Amino acid sequence: MANFKIFQDNPDQAKVKIFGGNNAALNTDSSGNLTITSTGLAITPPTDGLAITSTGLAITAPTNGLTVTAAAEGLAITPPTGGLAITPPTDGLAITSTGLAITPPSGGLLITAAGLSMVSATTDVSATLANITDTAGSGDTTYNVLGVETWTFGVVNESLATNAQALVTMQISPDGVNWLDEAGPVTINQNSLTTLVSSIFLKYARVYYSAVNAASAVTLNVFFQGEL
């Protein structure tokens, strides 16, 4: 065809080619699909496909689930201002691990959901205070009770002598230095039990104990039990 040698000898030159801002042609695969390549960027869509819509990004995981492999330093997820919503599938969301560690932000971790079931844990610590003859008194182990929802001290007088009595008082403190008597003092006879419960909440708590008679040594079993 006269004056149209391009179509006869080089038909490829008649194709429309699109170039980017760096005067480089856009890359496509063998099927004509646009490929995106970048150092460190690899997007491999699952079998069911990757859907991007105008209202947001929808990622449809393959049948066997979506696997996210975090880097050695960990995976950081920054939620939007209104919070991060995770909607589990119909049969529930399963998290399995030989050791799952969740580090909350400084402001704390807030979990809200209708019908969310939380399995609570408990704490149970005991100690034996033997051969107490001091009538002035001493403070036992200091417990930080900030993370314990409900807690109680139980004190048992395990003395062998029938006249071996003890005085016990529960003390609370905001700083572990300044103490306030909150419950007691209570006199405990041999083979007797008393409980100490606080009606005022402060960070620290302890049992303050002493013998009634220095000549009669007292042995106390002190229990700290609570529900986290």
DSSP letter for each residue of the chain: -TT-HHHHH-GGGGS---B-TTS-BPPB-TTS-B---BTTB-----TT-EEEETTEEEE---TT-------TT-------TT-------TT------SS------TT------TT------EEEEEEEEEEE--SS-EE---EE-TT-SEEEEEEEE--SSTT--EEEEEEEESSSSS-EEEEEEEEE-TT-EEEE--SS--SEEEEEEEES-TTS-EEEEEEEEEE-
Among 34, 63, 60, CA closest to 49: 60
Tell me the residue type at 206.
Answer: R
Residues in the chain: 228
Distance CA 99, CA 32 (A): 46
Distance CA 200, CA 173 (A): 10
CB distance 212 to 187 below 8 Å: yes
Distance CA 19, CA 5 (A): 25
Identify the pLDDT of residue 77: 75
Identify the pLDDT of residue 134: 96
Among 155, 149, 189, 151, CA closest to 169: 155
Q: Could you give all domains of the chain from N- to C-terminal order, each with its CATH number? A: 122-227 (2.60.120.380)
Q: Is the dihedral of CA 219, 192, 153, 210 positive or negative?
A: negative
CB distance 219 to 130 below 8 Å: yes
Tell me the residue type at 36.
Answer: I
Identify the pLDDT of residue 191: 94
Secondary structure of 168-188 as H, E, C letters: EEEEEECCCCCCEEEEEEEEE
**Residue 154, beta-bridge partner list:** 195, 223
Identify the pLDDT of residue 37: 57
Q: Which residues of the chain have pLDDT under 50?
A: 39-40
Identify the pLDDT of residue 17: 67
